[in-house]
Amino acid sequence: MGMSEDIARLTTAAQDLVNTFTGKAAAIDASVAAALQAAPSMQRTYVVDSVAGDDAAAGTVAAPLRTIKKAVDLTPSGGSVEILLKPAQVFLIDADINVVNKIVRIDRQAVGTKPIIRPKGYLDTGGLNANYGFYGFGGTILFLNCTLESASKTDAAKANGFLLGLLRRCDLATLTVAVFGCDVVLQGLPLAHIAAACQRTDMWMYIVSITTPGAGMLVVSETNPFTLYAANMTLPGGTTIASLITGMVKDTNAVPVPRNVESNLVL
């Protein structure tokens, strides 16, 4: 067997290997591209119109969703979503919204009157006042340029139950809430409720105007760790932030200071 024949066979074998690799590489590239195409986007933007929207729509300006809940539910765990609300509309929260390891940013869709986010109240199975709201499980919720209302009591003669607050719980994960450039209207029930056995809850408030037409509180904490940062706040006359928070545990020294609430304000 001559050297030229050996070289020819080696050349043919090498070309076969190259062809095999090229074919497999193309198949692998196609599979990876298909997988990436099928993977859900972790960053979403939805427009929500409570009047003309449809929760079966795409969530665009031309085809908006109807509810905030649908926009949150469409966002995968670990993802983030910007929810743009039509100005001058009321967005009724009539079912609980679970924010599980998500970053949810809710803003006004265009210049105009601030949209109102209003939780619906009801009587729980024990006949006590309750309301629907956002459940936080290790998530972050940001509100910008909106009016946030606490729920009104369904029956003023009844006591309050456990399921309270437009913002509630954080269970075994930290919940972060930011409220920027918003109006807060406190009706009969609290805006935020931090339940027992929860981890730390952080709330940031900046350029926020609070009114109190009802007897609702800003925060009801069941003595759990809570951090509040507030600046450029507008409060009703004679009202302080401390007077709008219940559940603070204070040291019993000469100058009592909160033990479970950290704040940049004197509480």
Q: What is the mean pLDDT of residues 16-23?
A: 77
Q: Note the pLDDT of residue 266.
A: 77
Higher pLDDT, 264 or 25: 264
Q: What percent of the chain has pLDDT over 70?
A: 94
Q: What is the mean pLDDT of residues 197-202?
A: 75
Distances (CA, A) of 139 to 46, 58, 164, 165, 173: 18, 24, 18, 16, 8
Looking at domain 42-263, its CATH architecture is 3 Solenoid (2.160)
Q: Note the pLDDT of residue 37.
A: 63
Model confidence band, residue 135 (pLDDT cutoffs 50, 70, 90): confident
Q: What is the mean pLDDT of residues 21-40?
A: 73
Go through the chain and tell me how many residues it has.
267
Most confident of 15-19, 31-35, 112-116, 213-217: 112-116
pLDDT digits (tens, 9 = 90+) for 225-254: 888 999 999 999 889 988 999 888 888 877
Q: Report whether pLDDT(187) > 90.
A: yes
Ranges of each domain in the chain: 1-39, 42-263
As given in the structure block, the two tokens for residue 128 are: 């006590």
Model confidence band, residue 123 (pLDDT cutoffs 50, 70, 90): very high
> Which bin fits 101, alpha (ψ -120 to 50), beta or left (φ > 0)?
left
The maximal CA–CA distance of the chain, rounded, in angstroms, is 106
Model confidence band, residue 264 (pLDDT cutoffs 50, 70, 90): confident
Model confidence band, residue 2 (pLDDT cutoffs 50, 70, 90): low
Q: Which residues, other chains included, contact 65 with Cβ-Cβ below 8 Å and sequence gap of 6+?
A: 46, 47, 48, 49, 53, 54, 55, 57, 59, 71
pLDDT digits (tens, 9 = 90+) for 139-184: 899 999 999 999 999 999 999 888 889 998 666 667 899 999 999 9
Instruction: Name residue, tokens 């003309």.
Output: 52
Q: Note the pLDDT of residue 44.
A: 95
Averaged pLDDT score across all residues of the chain: 88
Q: Which of 16-20, 44-48, 249-253 has the lowest mean pLDDT?
A: 16-20
Higher pLDDT, 147 or 135: 147
**Would you list the DSSP string of 201-241?**
EEEEEEEEEEE-SSS--SEEESS--EEEEEEEEE--TT--T
Q: What is the mean pLDDT of residues 100-115?
A: 96
For CA atoms 158, 159, 165, 168, give the dihedral sign: negative
Q: Note the pLDDT of residue 36.
A: 57
Cα 139–191–193 angle (5° rounding)? 60
Q: Note the pLDDT of residue 252.
A: 80
Using the 8-state DSSP alphabet, how is residue 259 labeled? S
